[in-house]
Structure 1
Amino acid sequence: MKADALVREYSRQARTLLSGRGAQRVKLLLMGQHTNDGLFAKLFIYFMLSIIAYLYLQPFLYMISTMLKTLPDLLDPTVQWIPRSLEWSNLERALKGMHYSRSLLYTLTLAVIPSFIQVLICSVTGYALARLPFPGKNLFFALILLTFLVPPQIIIIPLYVIYSKLGWLNTPLVFIVPALFGQGLKSALFIIIFRQFFQSLPKALEEAAMIDGATMFRLFFRIILPLSIPACLVVFLFSFVWHWNESYLSSMFLSQDFTPLSIRLANLETEIFGREPTMEMLAVNPITEGTKMAGAFLIVFPPLLVYMIAQRWFVEGIERTGLVD
């Protein structure tokens, strides 16, 4: 009898909870006060984000899985993601075949130095286009946009002839010198980013500095540039990644001696076999798949590590520069 009384009491309390204010609270919990703060909405958002994360991570996970597979695991269609045993020799062959330490130094030179130069030159150019009145400013901005719209394949032959006559082929000057003049890789886009950012700054800062007697250069380097650290970080990371992954221009201008990792990966099979492999050689000795995936991982890992370290400041810079608009 006592148990029946407890059951009836719990049933009465449940009916009370689900009626009146209790039902309103349950509805508020499930649906939310707004469209995106209810339980159903959050579950849907998490579900969609999980799918998107999987789509982005799947190639990276496949690359790691393949580079750790043995040859029997590569040939066995039943082995999909988890290899039966880990094969570390693929990483060793990739390190040796790509001459990784030397090529990594070359790639860092091509990625870091032009990136710093582009941050400085593009910030000065973007500030001039955003704040300084001078004749033909709109024309200059239109020409900058034109350089961004023209594909590099159209001007590759004149550039090759010019760099050949200047003796810049197979040297980092083919990327450093254009960056000094605001014509480096994607420089037009970086100028637009800085122009957008500087237009959002209040003019009262510049007016107060000019009243205190600051020159234009002192105003920019002491006040404006420190305020533009988020935009500088965004531009540096974009420039670093694009220079790091650049393969078309590198294959045209840096095919010998000063060879970055992207070109080493393309020639990895040649390094393994000692000469250009034929289809018959690949069919008899299909060992390059895991090695190529190991080489791709060695290329992807350094910029991924840089982004993981600077992620918070990068997202803040994206929001402040207006790239999400």
Structure 2
Amino acid sequence: MKTVVDNQQMKSPTPRVSRKKVQIKPAGIILHIVLFIGALLFAGPFIWMALSSLKSFEQIFAVPPVWIPDPFVWENFTNSLAAMPFGKAYFNSFYISAIVVFCQLLTCSMAAYAFAKIKFPGSNVLFIGFLATMMVPMQVTLIPLYIIMDAIGWVNTHLSIIVPNALFNAFGVFLLRQFIMGIPKEMEEAAVVDGANPLFIFFKVILPLIKPALSAFGIFSFIGIWNNFIQPLTFLSDQDLFTVPLMLSTFKGLYVTDWPLMMAGATISVVPILIVYIFAQRQIIEGIALTGVKG
């Protein structure tokens, strides 16, 4: 009997591992080619800026264009930092951006929680009014804002840049509201049963759950404030108060512009933004994706 069983086991075919052939679709190849060309087009100006920062004045305006610097003029970076007080400008941009981002995260999240979870008369009308402000260009409100800042004595101070941006951001309210609306109501009801008030629910229940959206909005806010040019140009006149974008504009003269130094300074100015994006791109994608799904 044992011999028969052994013979049957020897005759049984060995199981074959099914291998799925990877099918390469022509549509996918075309899509990747289009995306690659689009990425090159969008990255082209940045690549040209970075390469121009290592060229001499003659190489920048050479015909035909010189793509690879020969030789590399590394002195452009040290000369650009020494020509203008960029250290002070970097400090101004960093601390202004940090304060504005912190305040916007707090005020926008509180307003978003109110619009999403707290029912009060006129909430929908007020929220639509918030969204309507996104359609008004900043240039339209710049002159009235300047008159207000001048009346309270904030012109030529950093308060004229910090306070208006820190107190109001319609995009942030909209983004965070969409995320908060996706939080189950049962979590708030459980906290209310335990005796929690709305302030406790906001800080202990809501905020920990919206960290991805807060991270995404904080990064967008930092990039926007760091690159802000027209408000510092309008309100600031003392060079010690200049931010990095405004300091870069000083390289442009009435008749001559020192393009190598400007390109070097511009390349240095985008380093913080690149660092933020490289380390936080996961939070950006996750925050936007979850906001779109749960909204």
Shorter-chain TM-score range: 0.7 to 0.9
Q: Distance in 2 between matches of 1:324 and 1:93?
A: 50
Matched, 1:200 2:186: no
Q: Which residue of the partner structure matches residue 3 of structure 2?
A: none
Residue identity opposite 2:243 in structure 1:
P
Q: Distance in 2 between matches of 1:178 and 1:83?
A: 43
**TM-align CA RMSD:** 2.1
Alpha-carbon offset, residue 246 of structure 1 = 0.8
Q: What secondary structure, in the 3-state scheme, does the structure 1 residue paired with 2:262 have?
A: helix
Gaps of 5+ in 1: 1-24, 31-37, 270-275
Q: Distance in 2 between matches of 1:297 and 1:253?
A: 25
Q: Distance in 2 between matches of 1:39 and 1:143?
A: 48
Q: Which residue of the partner structure matches residue 271 of structure 2?
A: 301
More displaced 10-residue stretch of structure 1: 150-159 or 55-64: 150-159
Match of 1:312 among 266, 282, 287: 282
Say whether the 8 Å CA contact 2:54–2:69 is kept in structure 1: yes
Matched, 1:267 2:237: no
Q: Which residue of the partner structure matches residue 81 of structure 1?
A: 67
Q: Distance in 2 between matches of 1:196 and 1:324?
A: 7
Q: What secondary structure, in the 3-state scheme, does the structure 2 residue paired with 1:77 have?
A: coil
Q: What secondary structure, in the 3-state scheme, does the structure 1 residue paired with 2:139 have?
A: coil
Residue identity opposite 2:269 in structure 1:
I
Q: Distance in 2 between matches of 1:323 and 1:173?
A: 38
Q: Which residue of the partner structure matches residue 167 of structure 1?
A: 153
> Relative to structure 1, is the Cα distance of residues 205 and 40 closer, same or farther in structure 2, using a 3 angstrom cutoff?
same
Match of 2:223 among 235, 241, 244: 241
How many matched pairs? 276
Matched, 1:321 2:291: yes
> Relative to structure 1, is the Cα distance of residues 252 and 231 closer, same or farther in structure 2, using a 3 angstrom cutoff?
same
Match of 1:158 among 117, 120, 144: 144
TM value normalised by structure 2: 0.87
Alpha-carbon offset, residue 169 of structure 1 = 1.6
Q: Distance in 2 between matches of 1:299 and 1:188?
A: 27
Q: Which residue of the partner structure matches residue 114 of structure 1?
A: 100
Q: Distance in 1 between matches of 2:61 and 2:249?
A: 23
Residue identity opposite 1:59 in structure 2:
P
The structure showing larger relative contact order (alpha-carbon pairs under 8 Å, at least 6 residues apart) is 2
Residue identity opposite 1:165 in structure 2:
A
Alpha-carbon offset, residue 79 of structure 1 = 4.6
Question: Among the aligned pairs, what percent are the same residue?
Answer: 36
Matched, 1:228 2:214: no
Alpha-carbon offset, residue 123 of structure 1 = 0.4
Q: Distance in 2 between matches of 1:138 and 1:45?
A: 41
Say whether the 8 Å CA contact 1:318–1:324 is kept in structure 2: no
Q: What secondary structure, in the 3-state scheme, does the structure 1 residue paired with 2:154 have?
A: coil
Q: Distance in 2 between matches of 1:206 and 1:130?
A: 12
Gaps of 5+ in 2: 1-18
Question: Residues 246-272 of structure 1: CA distance to partner in whole angstroms, max 9, x if unpaired?
Answer: 111111112324110111111123xxx
